[in-house]
Structure 1
């Protein structure tokens, strides 16, 4: 016989787990459906950055100047697989339409309440999960190799400053004093001082899994095969069984678009594939104390504890289940070896995961337009780990008829359905 519950959460990454925990807190009987593959979750492979300043989408106005390099795969921050592009045509059209200063500013204003609530929500969740020591307000560094590259990012700093996001500007000597582990001489850097970081994000997710189980939450381990609306709610069919509930939360990350499509929702979304690999710092090197975005390499260096560094690649646009392409992570690793004193790799193979990406850089949070009892919570892109806990609180409010503390109108699902308006 099918299990029954008040609500089913589809997806066990940071967003899905946070939703499930917050819904348990509201007194609901919750079943979490997830394949149970911890390393496959995007949350596992994250850089661990929790930043109030994560308000500027990838669809930047600077895209137009970089477009020739992007199209030639000559920029390390993006790698295109042209065979995949026809499948994400609505996403690509909407992404290009969003790459304007006016829309960048609009997205920043919409995201600010969400990112401002992210770190406090992480503190609350980490304390309950018994893993507060993994969360530290370290700030994070955005480093530029030349004065020209720094000047080209003036609009970004203007928008951040206009929204009260705190940052310091450092010169070469200031960068060296702040992070002596960096042996590459950067010209300038922006230190976002309000930013926190999570050491070993996968461990945080594991702690949240234990918290959910301790609250009496139930799990069905297996991929979701079907969401079937019924007269009294929903039937969720997985490889491991089925469960009936009045409500469903779709928070399955990069798989959400395909699942929603079975119900007739064709979202303009894409899977951004990303890679990471771990290296040991040389024993004589000072530790790296905060995540560093090397804008010249299009990659991130993030400390994971025990003198380990996680090197993260830029974005790859390709089918979710396509064979790995290690071009970007190999380039990022070569650059990292000239930025830090690294030993050999600690992993046999680079990790690969897929971020659920929306073209305007904002998540999809809200009720489904045509199906009662279905809530969407996906598309967080690069800020899924960061804003997962606050998204969980928002979804729990929506599911129980309360007004969320964070405005969610800009994240409405309707904006990404069908072809975008290009003007």
Structure 2
């Protein structure tokens, strides 16, 4: 449905049609809640469209890690392939930067891993359930994924990560050079060590999975308004959601607009410690004589991921770029990642006219924001999932539906509370906009 009558009596308006927002809308419809999903409908602009399609129990580590301090000089010089900084932008997101540096402690890293584990552990089963309902089970598989290390020193430096994974009961297999060639013969580069995480699912076409979930939402009677939410206004009996073509009214709002969420929340006086992580990908064909790549692989030396997609394509994904959400694309990282990939796989010609760029919503502690807004009744935040938005989006949708319907969430949400990122001078609200939580 492309329009919603202004007088329509709606229970919930979900802002954002990426994986988190769409799964939230779906979970609400499964409970017979009257839902409208607001999204401009630009499929390629969604982060869910362009990621590696990895759904892993082991995706429990924030970007800010104890290894940050040793790498900081190379990060600041843009000498590390995994991270590219726009220094002026980093200076403009000082709250995020301060929190990010504070999170680079072993104790903080371990706490985040423990908090994220219930979320990542439930991710694949919930996707399997939804994909089956949506007729998209063929897009999911469970091949595992591999982290590759070019040197023994690089492998040794990741011992803390492996220790934490083992402590939480996450299966992993250590591979030497010969074992890597055996399990993934498409790789032509020699690696010293690898870590195979077998409890990992893969999506062969993330964009198609999002589209299948959207069709399911419509089949269940959900409504979609192809508009971007511009402003949220609290009213006596709920909310007005202003967009370019008018206004929608609903009793509750779920803000799940990815990297745009912080800007929308700012209109209500919430200033989150928040930044935009931009990422790029490009598709290549494999050489006709190459064996297929059977699972996603992370080349830690290149700071990039190679992931098999449908029709024999390989998706090459860059590292992280910290820059303004709306800044012009900078293809430096994806060009470097593509050159490295050509030494790792027997690649054919690129299949895209230009690389894709997307923007991930980044919290400094690497954990999403999931919970009720502290100052406004009927507003639920669900954003900031960073690199695990597609992976944990489906289970986040169930948790959002629990919050909206008054059920007890199956996963503890205290670590994801919005208040943890709101400790900066930000709540100077006009009296007429204040509402009791």
Q: Which residue of 2 aligns with 1:171?
A: 176
In structure 1, the residue matched to 2:434 is: none
2:161 aligned to which of 156, 161, 166: 156
1:14 maps to what in 2? 19
Distance 2:246 2:56 in 1: 39
Gaps of at least 5 residues in structure 2 are 426-437
- Is residue 405 of structure 2 the alignment partner of residue 400 of structure 1? yes
TM-superposed CA distance for 1:306, in Å, is: 1.7
SS in 1 for 2:232: strand
Q: How far apart, in 1, do the equivalents of 2:246 and 2:202 lie?
A: 37
Instruction: Tell me the residue number matched to 1:378.
Output: 383
The residue that corresponds to 1:255 in the other structure is: 260
Say yes or no: does 1:79 pair with 2:80. no
Give, in whole Å, the separation in 2 of the partners of 1:250 and 1:279.
Answer: 35
TM-score, normalized by length of structure 1?
0.98
Alignment check: 8 A CA contact 2:38 2:224 kept: yes
Which residue is 2:430 aligned to? none
The match for 1:94 is 99
2:299 paired with 1:294:
yes
Partner of residue 215 from structure 2, selected from 201, 205, 210 = 210
Tell me whether 1:285 sits opposite 2:271 in the alignment.
no
1:63-104 per-residue CA deviation (whole Å, 9 max, x = no partner) reads 000000000000010000112122211001000000000000
Offset at 1:359? 0.5
Asked if 1:113 is matched to 2:118, the reply is yes
Asked if the contact 1:221–1:240 (Cα under 8 Å) also holds between the matched residues in 2, the reply is no
For residues 105-144 of structure 1, what are the structure 2 equivalents within 5 Å? 105-144=110-149
The answer on whether the counterparts of 1:4 and 1:243 sit within 8 Å (CA) in structure 2 is no
Whether the 8 Å CA contact 2:233–2:240 is kept in 1: the answer is: yes
- 2:428 is aligned to none
State how far apart, in whole Å, the 2-side matches of 1:186 and 1:118 are: 30
Matched, 1:31 2:4: no
Partner of 1:313: 318
CA drift at 1:219: 1.1
Give the stretch that moved more between structures: 234-243 or 108-117. 234-243
Q: Distance in 2 between matches of 1:252 and 1:58?
A: 21
Q: Distance in 1 between matches of 2:246 and 2:34?
A: 17
Q: Does the CA-based 8 Å contact 1:220-1:240 persist in structure 2?
A: no
Residue in structure 2 matched with residue 223 of structure 1 by the alignment: 228
C-alpha distance after superposition, 1:130-183 (max 9, x if no partner): 000110011000000000000000000000000000000000000000000000
Match of 2:343 in 1: 338
- Cα distance in 2 for partners of 1:86, 1:153 equals 29
Question: Matched residues in 2 for 1:344 and 1:96: separation?
Answer: 40
Alignment of 1:351 with 2:356, yes or no, is yes
Distance 1:240 1:282 in 2: 49
> Equivalent of 1:234, from 228, 236, 239?
239
Query: What's the CA shift string for 1:11-48, capped at 9, x where partnerless?
Result: 00000000000001111100000111000000000100
8 A Cα contact 2:143 2:201, kept in partner: yes
CA distance in 2, matches of 1:155, 1:44: 32
Q: Which runs of 5+ in 1 are unaligned?
A: none
Query: Aligned residues, how many?
Result: 420
Q: Find the aligned partners of 2:215 and 2:27 in 1 and give their Cα distance.
A: 14
**Partner Cα distance (1:188, 1:369) in 2:** 47
Match of residue 64 from structure 2? 59
**What's 1:416 paired with?**
421
Conserved? CA contact 1:362–1:411, under 8 Å: yes
User: When the two structures are superposed, what TM-score results if normalisation uses the length of structure 2?
Assistant: 0.95
- The list of structure 1 runs, each at least 4 consecutive aligned residues, that deviate by more than 3 angstroms after superposition, is none
Could you say what secondary structure the match of 1:246 adopts?
Answer: strand
Partner residue in 2 for 1:326: 331
CA contact (8 A) 2:18 2:46 kept: yes
Aligned to 2:431: none
Which residue, out of 362, 365, 375, partners 2:370?
365
